[in-house]
């Protein structure tokens, strides 16, 4: 879930929200100026791609490194039965995976000083406490109902079906100031231009790549279209759902561990492949994930399978450790661990 594209979440962003967040199913501030985005992207250093990292962007924003994935709330709100389908494929060919209910510690587990010092020293970043303070305090969150989460980001091909069906015009294609922040290959940086939209972001993308240059409003319009088409309740994930699914029981910086270099094996961030093309990018991973720009979602399947195997291993370890506790807690915790282990 890290890298490739930042992903829009449903929530409004608000400074200090973590101090007042409810334990059960937090949905973000009641109102605000920014929506939350999560996970980092292909041009973002590993310091900003951690499980706890939070981004904020105005809902009309549209960038060549920002897309979204969907959440779907099953019609039955009860605990999943053991035979609940683990992965479904919807009417537009999108795969969604069942995420069981459970709880976790949301936010950063290490101090703001340690995080900044590590990434500044190792990758020459300029992380400041102010950049990171919205990841604190770490706090307990319960996801009380199982939900489905898009296994991958929404692709250009899936977004194309929405546009073909509705003649929808994205915010980049209408209004007084059309355009988006796309990639300028000559200047080698992002720039706002009317020529950029989900159809062209300044770098090569097929229909298998994540759709980019779509605003929060565009993403929500897509959810409404699909919900109506299937008589289901699609929406963007809350950032609590996002982090819960991303962590999958882990408590480290990344689900793959604390070492940022592990990201090269599991996702697509600013890496050695990017540095080879843009030598002045000094903040990249030392290892290569193989992609300079977005990666096609089908291509990263092998990486995702590795992710699942790893997360399963973490959960099995956690299960062994948590067994005694689980039995004391009327078996519910154990049941949840088992559900997680089965369903990731
Ligand atoms: Ca992502
Ligand atoms: Ca990369």
pLDDT digits (tens, 9 = 90+) for 50-82: 999 999 999 999 999 999 999 998 875 445 554
The tally of domains found in the chain comes to 2
171: CATH: 3.90.1580
* 224 and 138 within one domain: yes
Residues 36 and 60 in one domain: yes
In a shared domain, residues 112 and 233: yes
How far is Cα 28 from Cα 239, in angstroms, rounded to an integer?
8
Q: How far apart are CA 179 and CA 196, in angstroms?
A: 5
Question: What whole-number distance in Å separates Cα of residue 88 and Cα of residue 286?
Answer: 37
Alpha-carbon torsion, ordered 151, 252, 81, 331, to 10 deg? 180
Q: In angstroms, what is the span from residue 292 Cα to ligand 2's centroid?
A: 5
334 in the same domain as 214: no
Residue 1 within a domain: no
Kindly give the distance from the C-alpha atom of residue 264 to the centroid of ligand 1, in angstroms, as a whole number: 14
The predicted structure's pLDDT at residue 82? 46
Give the Å distance between the CA of 15 and the centre of ligand 1: 23
Separation of CA 325 and ligand 1 centre (Å): 34
Same domain, 273 and 238: yes
State the pLDDT at residue 334: 36
Within the chain, which residues score under 50 in pLDDT?
A: 77-78, 82-83, 301-306, 308, 312, 314-344
**DSSP annotation string for 218-255:** HHHHHHHHHHHHHTS-EEPPPHHHHHHHHHTT--SSBT
Looking at the DSSP bridge assignments, the partners of residue 124 are none
Spatial distance between the Cα atoms of 143 and 303, rounded to a whole number of angstroms: 26
| Tokens standing for residue 7 | 């992903």
Model confidence pLDDT, tens digit, residues 221-244: 999 999 999 999 999 999 999 999
* The model's pTM: 0.87
The predicted pLDDT at position 323 comes to: 32
pLDDT computed for residue 298 by the predictor: 64
298 and 95 in contact (C-beta within 8 Å)?
A: no
Q: Is there a single domain that holds both residue 227 and residue 259?
A: yes
The bound ligand whose nearest atom lies closest to the alpha carbon of 269 is: 2
Query: How far from the centroid of its chain's Cα atoms is residue 112's Cα?
Result: 22
Give the per-residue pLDDT at 321.
35
Ligand nearest to the CA of 39: 1
**pLDDT value at position 130?**
87
Domain with 229, as residue range(s), is 6-297
């Amino acid at each position: 879930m890290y890298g490739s594209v930042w992903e829009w979440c449903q929530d409004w962003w608000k400074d200090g929200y973590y101090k007042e967040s409810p334990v059960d199913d937090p949905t973000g501030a009641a109102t605000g100026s920014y929506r939350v985005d999560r996970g980092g992207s292909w041009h973002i250093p590993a310091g900003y791609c951690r499980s706890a990292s939070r981004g904020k962007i105005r809902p009309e924003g549209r960038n060549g490194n920002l897309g979204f994935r969907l959440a779907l709330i099953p019609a039955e709100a009860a605990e999943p039965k053991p035979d609940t389908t683990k992965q479904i494929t919807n009417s537009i060919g999108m795969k969604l995976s069942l995420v069981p209910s459970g709880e976790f510690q949301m936010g950063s587990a290490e101090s703001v000083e340690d995080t900044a010092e590590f990434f500044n020293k190792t990758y020459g970043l300029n992380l400041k406490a102010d950049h990171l303070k919205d990841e604190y305090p770490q706090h307990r969150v319960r996801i009380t109902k199982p939900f489905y989460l898009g296994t991958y980001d929404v692709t250009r091909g899936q977004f194309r079906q929405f546009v073909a069906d509705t003649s929808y015009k994205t915010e980049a294609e209408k209004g007084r100031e059309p355009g988006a922040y796309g990639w300028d290959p000559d200047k080698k940086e992002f720039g706002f231009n009317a020529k950029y939209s989900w159809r062209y972001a300044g770098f090569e993308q097929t229909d298998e790549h994540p759709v980019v240059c779509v605003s929060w409003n565009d993403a929500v319009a897509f959810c409404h279209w699909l919900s109506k088409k299937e008589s289901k309740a699609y929406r963007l994930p809350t950032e609590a759902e996002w982090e819960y699914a991303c962590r999958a029981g882990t408590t480290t910086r990344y689900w793959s561990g604390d070492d940022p270099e592990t990201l090269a094996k599991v996702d697509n961030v600013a890496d050695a492949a990017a540095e080879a093309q843009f030598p002045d990018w000094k903040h990249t991973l030392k290892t290569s994930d193989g992609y300079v720009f977005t990666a096609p979602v089908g291509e990263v399947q092998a990486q995702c399978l590795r992710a699942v195997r790893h997360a399963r291993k973490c959960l099995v370890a956690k299960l062994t450790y948590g067994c005694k506790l689980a039995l004391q807690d009327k078996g519910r915790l154990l049941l949840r661990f088992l559900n997680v282990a089965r369903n990731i």
